[in-house]
Structure 1
């Protein structure tokens, strides 16, 4: 077996820097099934969905344990190379292979050299990363996959047609962002069992391989990737699926991010099937499709009313008396004020970072339409946040040279604790505002909303059971899995987890570091 290329120091530095930066930008990064990753020395093509530009590659690089793979050989569009920018320096020093895209050039493109580089890496036992969609895009659906990965696999297998023990792994990964460009949102990275190809077992892939064989491998890749993330024809269906999942497993249900994504995806797939059946005018409409269509319509009405009143489903489900609302408002106001006051010193360090990042993103958005810029917003926030954060750290150490030994550690520690306190402060303020809006809604309106919710909830539970989901999600997920899967081992551990230095213990995976809940999405024609 090949030994694989040793890890170059720029790659190690990049992995270290961005592992920290990603943990600052995203609230929770959950990586599942790393045991599926083949070890260094086994030729491997890593494939993933591509919705968040360079951030996708950085997530994969930092999600692969260094004890399993030395490095991932990245690929990126050729227009990213040769520029006097930090991003360009970053991808070049990481050993990234430039790929020429047709949309970036007027005439035909030639990627022969790129394919040769990737084949050399595979021959050495490395893992190469490719995004079969061919481009990053801010859309709810996975784009039709290009056949480049399957053709590369065919070329490699053909070179080893006389080696019966040769194996090529195609390792597929699903990346799911709750809100890809928002600070302190959450990310799920799911690795799937690798597709293991051998010349003796897959002679159909040896040259000259039939086009249908290449397309069949590409379909397999698509099916694995789409099975672990949201793949919808419209943002509208994603929004309804998330609301259905939230009503099925209400606020406070102790479940992992992976379970939350799985439930949301289950509802989404059901809504997609109904959407596709409705769009076929030549087929009679099945009664189940009629039910699903009615459920989607009711969910849309309920979602619009929640947004209009600025309240959460949980407050409709469990109404509070006026006395309880006022008492909770006082507690939230006191807690958010306390957290804000102790965060003020650290906010002086964060202010330059926020200003630089805001300005960079604001200027970048002017460079093109929403569909061509939104997939790179997280990348800009990460890169400019990293640069400005390092400058603040170095500047603070220089200004405190007499005690630089202490401030070298104190400044990043203070910035991290400030971030954690501000997460809790914003969450408390958000809860205070939601309670205030609840007071304004009035009892009569809440009763109407509760009546509407009860009817929708019955439909959701009937659908959930028919889809094979547990009939009592709160009880099921409180018992299922280990502590990492969401089980709370006791009252003390539950309360202490809220104050964890490591990360905020979320009750709602929809949270971001904003004063309002992110429940809306772009128009489907954007």
Structure 2
């Protein structure tokens, strides 16, 4: 029987929060106030693209807020003090840190047919019965209706399990007119799911409410078409809140279009950035839909329209332009606002000097971080060999989190014991030094990345940059026309997003005081570009996938 106590201990909640705060630059949560309050049966459903990290990210989002507690750490304790997580049964009962982590969170094991041979009976009847009992008590249950995590640009079709649970619970309470059960859909978006110091967006959508009185079509005996329709409604709501793309190429071109429409420096929240990219994905995907379906009959039986052809040409040209930027090692902003050689040289000196200064400050802390980086790099390198991209890369972040945490704790304990006479000081000083080193390292790498970009611009020559500038002007006009004519986006994105973007900005304000305070913030690095990661180059490409499941 499922315990009615809290599903997560305080120590493990703090552990989850600590690990995610180190790995990701920021985790932005939207609309957590929409979550049904405690005592209301609720099934939290989210897309599943990053294995165990998905559950931890939703969990962390609530813990980081002073009034939030444990809904996967994104739910106010006054609204939710309990969440039942679920995970595949094969991850339980092992003598591994991952298994302990999952079990310590009070996670419920679910058997998947794909994890067992044909001669093994897979039966989740008892588990589902207990979950329904928990829902009837007013608990919340977290499920990932895609069924399994995978590294893919688009969501998998949702399984009908959630809709069937709702149907079963409603049927068991058909005589109670006041009984209501909610489906709380949630979209999780990673700017770069497997990279250090990238960002995460967790968006909650308006909950779906069901009662025996209002939804008799879900009472047994139920028409399976109603189950499929509910599942499709869930899919649409979740997919609209994340970068769900038909292909990696369309996603890449959509990001390029978003950068051209709202250039570097636009004060844009992470949520606005994700929704902008999603808008271009929808337009490009619609234009390519007839081609992907293998015919010309994609819209009301008519042949491809001229507008579709223009949009597809724009998408292809954006890909070529992004390829040129990657080859040059430059951001779009360097082409939009070209610099003369003297300014480039001056900025190179400033960037290199600042990078070396910060790197010098980081050397003591880097000695502590070196075992962590080495351990995670080695574990991930070996793990990538275990299977194809689409079946392994969704677990890279999980491996980095787990091995990074274990090696980091070993470094902390080892360094404290090595300085035993001063252990009372070093016990607190070591994690503080490691955190400050990480912050300095972020700025140092960003500065060096800018130095390399400027150097390559200087070496490229004025002729190459001029040609690329003309290409960008043409793309800007076409993207602008598409944005306003077909997408109803505002004419001036910089003014629009700066006034509507909320408090999570991608860039600091124009005043010197705001710029200075945000730049030296200990909590997170000031970002002008949500695409930033802890790497020496901009991550804009995706791994090639030769086989899809």
For normalisation by structure 1, the TM-score amounts to 0.97
The yes-or-no answer on 1:462 pairing with 2:458 is no
Q: 1:505 to 1:485 in 2, by over 3 A?
A: closer
**1:5 equivalent in structure 2:** 4
Out of 91, 101, 112, the residue aligned to residue 80 of structure 1 is 91
Aligned to 1:344: 363
Deviation at 1:5, TM superposition (A): 3.4
Relative to structure 2, which stretch is displaced further, 237-246 or 292-301? 292-301
Secondary structure at the residue paired with 2:458? helix
What are the residue-to-residue correspondences of 1:86-235 with 2, within 5 Å?
86-107=97-118, 109-235=122-248
CA distance in 2, matches of 1:106, 1:425: 51
Deviations 1:303-338 (A, max 9, x none): 111111222211111111100010000000110000
Assess if the C-alpha contact under 8 Å between 1:256 and 1:484 holds in 2: yes
Residue in 1 that maps onto 2:48: 50
Does 1:472 pair with 2:492?
yes
Native 8 Å contact 1:28 1:185 kept in 2: yes
Runs of at least 5 residues in structure 1 that lack an aligned partner in the other structure: none
Q: Once the two structures are superposed, what CA deviation does each residue of 1:346-378 show, in whole Å capped at 9, x if it has no partner?
A: 111111111111122122222222221101110
Shift in Å at residue 133 of structure 1? 0.4
Aligned-partner Cα distance in 1 for 2:275–2:521: 26
User: Residues 434-491 of structure 1, C-alpha deviation per residue, up to 9 Å, x if partnerless?
Assistant: 0000011100111110111111100000111120111111122223344435672733
> Does 330-339 or 269-278 show the bigger shift?
269-278
Segments of 4+ moved more than 4 angstroms: none
Please say if residues 332 and 428 of structure 1, whose CA atoms lie closer than 8 Å, have aligned partners that are also in contact.
yes
Whether the 8 Å contact between 1:38 and 1:169 is mirrored in structure 2 is yes
Match for residue 506 of structure 1?
527
Q: Name the stretch that deviates more: 281-290 or 449-458.
A: 281-290
Supply the distance in 2 between the matched residues of 1:508 and 1:63 (Cα, whole angstroms): 21
Shift of 1:117: 2.1
Q: Deviations over 1:85-124 (max 9, x none)?
A: 0111121222211111111112252111221121122122
Hey, what does 2:273 align to over in structure 1?
260
Tell me the secondary structure at the aligned position of residue 129 of structure 1.
strand
Match of 1:325 in 2: 344
Specify which of 56, 65, 69 is matched with residue 80 of structure 2: 69
* Partner residue in 1 for 2:72: none
2:389–2:543 CA contact under 8 A, matched in 1: no
Q: What RMSD in Å do the two structures reach over aligned CA positions? A: 1.5
Mean CA deviation greater in 334-343 or 86-95: 86-95
Q: For 1:116 and 1:171, locate their aligned partners in 2 and report how far apart those are by CA, in whole Å.
A: 20
Greater CA drift, 513-522 or 476-485:
476-485
Q: Contact conserved, 2:28 with 2:61, CA < 8 A, in 1?
A: no
Instruction: Name the CA distance, whole Å, in 1 between partners of 2:19 and 2:531.
Output: 21
Please report how far the alpha carbon of residue 343 of structure 1 lies from its aligned counterpart in structure 2 after TM superposition: 0.5
Q: Does 1:372 align with 2:391?
A: yes
SS at match of 2:9: helix
SS at match of 2:504: helix
CA distance in 1, matches of 2:291, 2:313: 12
Q: Which residue of 2 aligns with 1:41?
A: 39
Deviations 1:194-216 (A, max 9, x none): 10111111111111111001011
Write the distance in 1 (CA, Å) between the matches of 2:208 and 2:228: 15
